[in-house]
Amino acid sequence: MYKNILVPIDLTQAEKGTAMLAVAAKLADQGAKITAITVVEDLPGYVRAELPTGLVEKNLKAAQEEMAKLVKDSGVAASVQVSDGNPSREILDHASKIGADLIIVASHRPGMQDYFLGSTAARVVRHAACSVLVTR
Cα 54 to the chain's mean position, in Å?
23
Exposed/middle/buried for 10, CB within 10 Å: 0-12, 13-18, 19+?
A: middle
Mean pLDDT of the region 52-56: 85
| The pLDDT of residue 112 | 55
Domain architecture of the chain: domains with CATH = 2-135 (3.40.50.620)
Is the model more confident about 8 or about 115? 8
49 DSSP 8-state letter = T
What are the tens digits of pLDDT across the range 1-22?
899 999 999 998 888 999 999 9
What are the tens digits of pLDDT across the range 56-84?
889 999 999 999 999 999 999 999 999 99
d(CA 43, CA 76): 32
d(CA 56, CA 120): 22
Whether the model pTM is above 0.85:
yes
d(CA 52, CA 54): 6
